[in-house]
Amino acid sequence: AKIRELAAENNVPLLEAPPLARALFKHADLGDEIPQALYTAVAEVLAYVFQLRAYKQHGGAQPQKPTEIEVPPQLDPLNVAAQPAPDAA
């Protein structure tokens, strides 16, 4: 919440992608390579960041935030459908 407050105070745009954040937190440590299955999702975020930077420096059309950043279900820890079924006892 503090990060959001500071961003708002400083006019820093926020991009929320909870499934991507969860997947990165679960499957990569700081300094690790990004899992290959997440390359496209991370590339979407980076493309938006670079477009936003160019817009702020040079003007032009404001880039649209990505709205549907897809994460493979098996990499999202909260995706219950992707979790293996418990063994029957």
pLDDT at 26 over 70: yes
Domain boundaries, the chain: 16-80
Lookup result for tokens 């404001």: 62
- DSSP H helices, 1-89, are 2-9, 18-27, 39-58
* pLDDT computed for residue 42 by the predictor: 98
What's the DSSP call for residue 78?
T
CA distance 48 to 30: 22
What are 13's two structure tokens?
Answer: 């745009």
* pLDDT computed for residue 86 by the predictor: 58
Lookup result for tokens 């407050």: 5
Contact at 8 Å (CB) between 23 and 71?
Answer: yes
Structure confidence at residue 89 as a pLDDT band (50, 70, 90) = very low
Q: What is the pLDDT of residues 39-88, one digit of tens each?
A: 999 999 999 999 999 999 999 999 999 999 999 999 999 986 655 655 64
What are 37's two structure tokens?
Answer: 């299955």
* pLDDT computed for residue 1 by the predictor: 81
